[in-house]
Amino acid sequence: MDLCAHDHSRWGAADQIGAGNLLTVEKRLAALHSVASGQIFDLSHEIAMNAPFMMPNQTPYLMSLWTNWRDSMRRRRALGATNEVGVNIERMEMTAHVGTHIDALGHFSIGNRLYNGLDAEEEVTDWGLNRLGVEHVPPMVTRGLLLDVAGLDGGGHLEAGRAVTADELARSCDRSKLAIEPGDVVLIRTGWGKFYGIDNPRYVAGEPGIDAESAPWLSSQGVVAVGCDNMAVEVLPGSNRAISMPVHQHLLVEAGVYIIENLSLEALAAVGVHSFCFILLAAKFRGATGAPVRPVAMV
The per-residue pLDDT for range 218-274, each reduced to its tens digit, is 999 999 999 999 999 999 999 888 999 999 999 999 999 999 999 999 999 999 999
Whether residues 164 and 277 share a domain: the answer is yes
Q: How many CB atoms lie within 10 A of CB 105?
A: 32
Whether residues 224 and 77 share a domain: the answer is no
Q: How many domains does the chain have?
A: 2
Rounded Cα distance, 152 and 118, in Å: 40
Q: What is the pLDDT of residue 259?
A: 99
Range of the structural domain that residue 83 is part of: 62-93
- Phi, psi angle pair for 282, to nearest 5°: -105, 135
Whether residues 77 and 109 share a domain: the answer is no
Whether residues 252 and 277 share a domain: the answer is yes
Q: What is the pLDDT of residue 239?
A: 83
Asked, for residue 182, whether it belongs to a domain, the answer is yes
Q: What is the pLDDT of residue 7?
A: 73
Length of the chain: 299
The upper half-sphere exposure of residue 166, i.e. CA atoms within 13 Å in the direction of its Cβ, equals 10
Rounded Cα distance, 3 and 249, in Å: 11
| β partners of residue 40 | 298
The upper half-sphere exposure of residue 221, i.e. CA atoms within 13 Å in the direction of its Cβ, equals 21
Q: What is the pLDDT of residue 5?
A: 41
Asked, for residue 7, whether it belongs to a domain, the answer is no
Residue 36, pLDDT > 70, answer yes
Residue 281: CATH number of its domain: 3.50.30.50
DSSP state of 175: H
Rounded Cα distance, 188 and 167, in Å: 13
